[in-house]
Amino acid sequence: MIDIHSHILPGIDDGAKTIQDSVDMANQAVSEGIHTIMATPHHMNGSYQNQKSDILPLVDLLNERFKFEGINLKVLPGQECRIYGEILEDYKKGFVFPLNQVSQYIFIEFPSGSVPRYAERLLYDIQVEGLTPVIVHPERNAELIERPDKLYKLVKNGAVTQLTASSLVGYFGKNIQKFSQQLIEANLTHFIASDAHNIHNRTFKMEEAMDNIKKKYGIDMVYYFTENAEMLVDGKTIYKEIPELIKKKKFLGLF
Ligand code: FE
């Protein structure tokens, strides 16, 4: 399978620190059945700036190294862009680039606690430019957990989303796990990816997540996610179902 979100490039963000870390991550990825991985280092998240010219040479470096080591893992270039006002200007300058370069998809990360007021407008403008914004890990955003209707609106208006495998299997706690399931059930998410940072506490969990999806939703849902990842890297139009509103359950008997 293809993992479209990872921090496997060495020494440029809070993921792999050294090439050996990248090799360790690659071996773990392969053991979970991943044959292609997109390297999506952080960009403009307050700590790291990684523009296209920083990313491409490291992708080449890893591909050569994995080949040398006999590791069957292909690395594709990507970028995890924190939302900021000048994304489109930077896209036109070539600092921000579409996933795998050839696609029309671009990762957009919100701050973990909130959704900026200008997000709706910016996601619209991104689409006017011919790009499709992929909101990464909406299940870990505090505002979206409280206000899932906001995510519904963004998806209804054309954004797509990527759920993190470890969220779905409970690594980030029960609330985030529950919300992850609700996102799948309401057709509010289109991709599952690892967002792996290392082989210790932020690992892949892709195999476990897919097993979980197969048991809970059936094999067709596994195909939906795996095929969408393939179509994304090929720059094709992905499968979507009509999104639904998640109704927040009221605590009965509280009043
Ligand atoms: Fe990430």
From CA 220, how far away is CA 248, in angstroms rounded? 27
* Count of CB atoms situated within 10 Å of the CB of 157: 13
Q: How far is the CA of 193 from the centre of ligand 1 (A)?
A: 10
Query: Quick check: 77 and 59 in contact, CB under 8 A?
Result: yes
Q: How far is the CA of 123 from the centre of ligand 1 (A)?
A: 19
Q: Indicate whether 137 pLDDT > 50.
A: yes
Q: How far is the CA of 42 from the centre of ligand 1 (A)?
A: 7
Query: 110: which residues sit within 8 A by CB, 6+ positions away?
Result: 82, 83, 116, 119, 135, 138, 141, 143, 144
When pLDDT is averaged across residues 157-167 and rounded to a whole number, the result is 98
Q: Indicate whether 97 pLDDT > 90.
A: yes
pLDDT digits (tens, 9 = 90+) for 170-207: 999 999 999 999 999 999 999 999 999 999 999 999 99
Q: Indicate whether 252 pLDDT > 90.
A: no
Q: How far is the CA of 71 from the centre of ligand 1 (A)?
A: 23
pLDDT digits (tens, 9 = 90+) for 10-56: 999 999 999 999 999 999 999 999 999 999 999 999 999 999 999 99
Single pTM value for the model: 0.96
Q: How far is the CA of 40 from the centre of ligand 1 (A)?
A: 7
Query: Quick check: 240 and 142 in contact, CB under 8 A?
Result: no
pLDDT digits (tens, 9 = 90+) for 49-89: 999 999 999 999 999 999 999 999 999 999 999 999 999 99
Looking at residue 247, its pLDDT comes to 80
Q: Indicate whether 250 pLDDT > 60.
A: no
From CA 219, how far away is CA 57, in angstroms rounded? 38
Looking at residue 255, its pLDDT comes to 47
Alpha helices per DSSP H over the chain: 19-31, 52-69, 87-93, 119-128, 142-146, 148-156, 165-168, 174-185, 206-217, 219-233
From CA 201, how far away is CA 6, in angstroms rounded? 14
Q: How far is the CA of 136 from the centre of ligand 1 (A)?
A: 8
User: 2-252: what fold?
Assistant: TIM Barrel (3.20.20)
Q: How far is the CA of 15 from the centre of ligand 1 (A)?
A: 9
Q: How far is the CA of 14 from the centre of ligand 1 (A)?
A: 9
